[in-house]
Amino acid sequence: MIIELGHFAVITALVLAVLGIVSPIVGLKRRDAVWVEVGRQAVTLNFVLISVGMLAMIYAYLTHDYSVKYVYATSNTKLSIFYKIAGLWGGHEGSLLLWAWVLALFCMMAVHIHWKTQPAVMPYLISIESVVLTGFLLLTLFLSNPFERIFPVPADGKDLNPLLQDPAMVLHPPFLYLGYVGLSIPFSFAMAALFSGRLGEEWIKATQKWTLAAWLFLTIGILMGGYWAYYELGWGGYWGWDPVENAAFMPWLVATAFLHSVMVQETRKMFKVWNLFLIILAFSLSLIGTFLVRSGILSSVHSFATDPGRGLFILGFVAFMLLLSFGTLILRSAKLKSQIEMDSVISREAVFLFNNLFFLVALITVFVGTLYPLLVEALQFKKVSVGPPYYNTVFMPVALGLVFLMGIGPYIPWRKASAQNLKDLFLMPSLVALGGLVFFLAVGIRHSYALAGLTVVCFVAVAIFRDFAKISSFWAKREQVGRLQGFLTAYKKNPRRLSGILTHIGVLVMIIGIIFSTIYQTEKILIMKPGDEVGLGSYRLKLIRLYGAQGVNWEAQEGLFNVYKGEALIAQLRPQKRFYTVSQTPTTETAIHQVLMGHVFVTIPEVSPDGTWARVRALHNPLVLWVWYGGGIMGIGVILNILRKTRLKVTAARPQAAAPEGAVSLPRQAREEVLQHRSNRWQSFLNAVRPGRKEV
Amino acid sequence: MKSGRKTAIIISALIVLAGVGYLGFGSFGKNLIYFVTPSEVVAFTPEHYGKKVRVAGMVVKDSLKVVPNTLRLTFDLSDGAQTIPVAFEGVPPDLFKEGQGAVVEGFWDADRTFHSHMIMAKHSEDYMPVEMKNAGAELPKKDFFKTLKVE
């Protein structure tokens, strides 16, 4: 009964989503505030209804209702409560429901937050968000319904994939979805700006924190996926250019480019069309990414063909969204020609331009690498895959270039830098970087990318800390306080700039982690018997014994390893070869000992049936933790950026607020905007939308 | 704005694009790995010997042999019509076993054996991309940066 209630709630949500598309548009056409209000209420109600659907599913999980097909496929009575709930997004159907739920939640939040400050674009926003929601609900209800029942009712569920029974994996998909869906808000604002013709900077200002939050979630999701692959899959690496990984990476790349290029529009009113293009592209890529991963199209056109309904719907929906958004952009772009043009190649604008260029090159690389095999298969009936060397050759120089720009961009002046500027800013970092290069050569680093990478990191680090020292002492002198206090004052004066730079420091830490943990990784794969030893960098690993172990839903063979540094025993490791009895799947459980910021990492992929020997894969990954520490610092930077106070301007000013006597002193543009609002015929209904301002 | 500056910006952007484009797409063909079936492998002529390909098929029952005290194992891979012997050295993935689908990466050589260093086993779970019957998704992935190592 509960499941039917949930099902019915989601069906109702679909009807309301369609209403949410239509009614705000009708409201605009007929200048009738009531219709817009209907749309607003539909948004709130949709969230409630989809929540009911989610709760019904969770109820089915907790009560072991295996008459629900999807619950049967992704759960089991033996699972802990945590994984029972996580089963909801452990498969295709449930994860689409989660997508729709997050979308409804964000849409409701956006409407709530921006209703007062951005009333003119709200009807468009509701309508566009409802289009996306309708698409997802159609897909959920008609092509992959999680509420579907089976008969006869199975006695027990098939179990959640053991690989997914891991905390990082449980949280990884929701974070990715928060990121994907979070991008839909800036996208909707951009589309609303296009439709309403309000193409100034306000949509960028309104969506800045949304974009930052979406970017943060996406970053966390990707990093968690990397950690899961490292720890749970046991391949000792965190990134493999897998098409599924690429699907999440593509929107991330564009969102990052967008976060940088909006600053140019804010400060210099340039890149207007470009910014619209980027945010539309970012959200389109998150739609494409979701569908590629969830439809199975990605790895094979054949599986796409096995469910033509789902595949075709997906293709149709993505095509519709692309046509709608890019079509509108092209039709409107003539209006957006920037009056201001770039003054010099040596300026902050140009740095941002190159930043965007690099990100776009990175995107094209990943896009081609991911989709080319699909194209070949569709056209030639051959299967190909694109190897990691393809990605590496492009990514190394692009990443180096981007990191280098990080050392220049925040400091180089807008418009045009003079030779004196450049000397002041970059002479010292360059000299230190040169010194660093000599030092790295002296300590025996020979790998060309490691050398180049570390030298560039030196350059950027010195540029950043030099700037920190300068602003700290500036404020310390001015406020007559200590240097640290001066730094805090500087942060208070310009939190955005400093939190941005903190994010850059995170990137540097991550780059160092990546360089060391990959280029200087030691890997040994061998057969070991109890008593055998293997050297691993400056560590030694000794297999003591092999024995059996047992858990609630698994059995395992476990190995006991001693880790030595010199003669000292520093740790004991117990990797396992597990066998999950319900789902009949084996997994390899990693054992990790942390050394400094690196890892000694052991897996036993195979143990002989009589327990006399094991295949051992042992790794020393120096500084590997810096990859995630760096991610953490990046995250803190972005969170500080989100938490800083901003005041959203009321864009459709009330008539009395735009007092004509003040207008004389207003800058020309603001005055024009006020005049435009006053002549705006929608104003009447916009006033009426606000409570207590009914116009008769 | 002077047109000279504009040209400078455009030219420098183009140089960057061309450089990176050359890096990526210049070696694109080399980095493609073709999927083939055991039947196609059997038909390989000497010019195909030593070229890296991926072969998808079923691991033939009772064909798996472990060479004692080494990382080597041998098995037969079949597509129903043809069967090829595979010599593998390394760590096979968790889901690799007889009677199931697998994809092996490696090369065919004059000794009429497929030499492989990487096996991908078929993964039935819905979370992973649903693969075609004979292809797999559970990769014992090599970290991409390791491909940078000078060997």
The pLDDT, as a whole number, for residue A302 is: 38
- Tell me how far the alpha carbon of residue A205 is from its chain's centroid: 20
Q: Is A151 helix (H, G, I), strand (E, B) or coil?
A: coil
Give contacts of B142 with chain A, Cβ < 8 Å.
235, 237, 240, 388
**Averaged in consecutive runs of 10 residues, what is the pLDDT profile of chain A (696 residues)?**
93 96 91 89 96 95 91 87 88 88 96 87 94 93 88 83 79 90 94 86 87 95 88 75 86 94 84 88 90 63 49 82 90 72 76 89 88 76 77 86 89 79 84 92 87 93 90 86 85 85 94 89 89 90 91 88 91 91 83 88 86 89 92 94 72 40 40 47 52 43
Q: Provide the pairing of β-strand A539-550 with A383-386.
A: unpaired
Q: Do A392 and B148 touch (CB under 8 A)?
A: yes
The Cα–Cα gap between A147 and A160 comes to 17
The Cα–Cα gap between A337 and B37 comes to 55
Q: What values do phi and psi take at A604, rounded to 5?
A: -120, 90
Give contacts of B101 with chain A, Cβ < 8 Å.
none
Tokens of A435: 């010194």
Q: Which of A397, A318, A366, A372 is nearest to A139 (CA)?
A: A318
The Cα–Cα gap between A260 and A273 comes to 15
Give contacts of B6 with chain A, Cβ < 8 Å.
341-342
Give contacts of B92 with chain A, Cβ < 8 Å.
605-606
Q: Do A73 and B126 touch (CB under 8 A)?
A: yes
Instruction: List Cβ neighbours of A430 (8 Å cut-off, separation of 6 or more).
Output: A459
The reply to whether B1 touches chain A by the CB within 8 Å rule is yes
The pLDDT, as a whole number, for residue A296 is: 60
Give contacts of A390 with chain B, Cβ < 8 Å.
24, 27-28, 31
The reply to whether A338 touches chain B by the CB within 8 Å rule is no
The Cα–Cα gap between A426 and A441 comes to 22
The pLDDT, as a whole number, for residue A656 is: 36
Q: How many CB atoms lie within 10 A of CB A59?
A: 16
The reply to whether A299 touches chain B by the CB within 8 Å rule is yes
The pLDDT, as a whole number, for residue B144 is: 40
Q: Between residues 116 and 135 of chain B, which touch chain A (CB distance below 8 Å)?
A: 125-133, 135
Q: Do B135 and A514 touch (CB under 8 A)?
A: no
- Cβ proximity of A556 and A550 under 8 Å: yes
> Which amino acid, residue A602?
V
Q: Do A585 and B95 touch (CB under 8 A)?
A: yes
The reply to whether A164 touches chain B by the CB within 8 Å rule is yes
Give contacts of B39 with chain A, Cβ < 8 Å.
none
Q: B52 pLDDT band (50/70/90 cuts)?
A: confident
Of B71, B95, B131, the CB nearest to A525: B71
Q: Do B71 and A382 touch (CB under 8 A)?
A: no
Alpha helices by DSSP H, listed for B27-124, are 38-42
Scanning every residue of chain B, which has its alpha carbon at the shortest distance from the alpha carbon of A513? B145
Of A237, A361, A398, the CB nearest to B142: A237
Q: What is the pLDDT of residues B67-93, one digit of tens each?
A: 877 788 899 988 878 889 999 988 887
The pLDDT, as a whole number, for residue A503 is: 94
Of B1, B94, B133, the CB nearest to A588: B94
- Cβ proximity of A527 and B69 under 8 Å: yes
Q: Which of A296, A315, A289 is nearest to A99 (CA)?
A: A289
Tokens of B87: 């010599």
Q: Provide the pairing of β-strand B83-89 with B114-121.
A: parallel
The Cα–Cα gap between A48 and A60 comes to 18
ipTM above 0.85 for this complex: no
Q: Between residues 98 and 137 of chain A, which touch chain B (CB distance below 8 Å)?
A: none
- Cβ proximity of A413 and A337 under 8 Å: no
The pLDDT, as a whole number, for residue A307 is: 56
Q: Between residues 11 and 70 of chain B, which touch chain A (CB distance below 8 Å)?
A: 12-13, 16-17, 19-21, 23-25, 27-28, 30-35, 54, 56, 69-70
- Cβ proximity of A585 and A162 under 8 Å: yes
User: Within 13 Å and on the Cβ side, how many CA atoms surround A50?
Assistant: 31
The pLDDT, as a whole number, for residue A658 is: 39
**Residue matched to tokens 């982690």:** A513
Alpha-carbon radius of gyration of chain A: 28
Q: Which of A649, A646, A694, A691 is nearest to A674 (CA)?
A: A649
Burial class (CB in 10 A: 0-12, 13-18, 19+), A657: exposed
Q: What is the pLDDT of residues B108-141, one digit of tens each?
A: 988 889 999 888 775 543 323 333 333 333 444 3
Q: Which of A129, A112, A269, A294 is nearest to A667 (CA)?
A: A269
- Cβ proximity of A522 and A536 under 8 Å: yes
The pLDDT, as a whole number, for residue A544 is: 93
Q: Do A343 and B1 touch (CB under 8 A)?
A: yes
The reply to whether A530 touches chain B by the CB within 8 Å rule is no
Give contacts of A585 with chain B, Cβ < 8 Å.
94-95
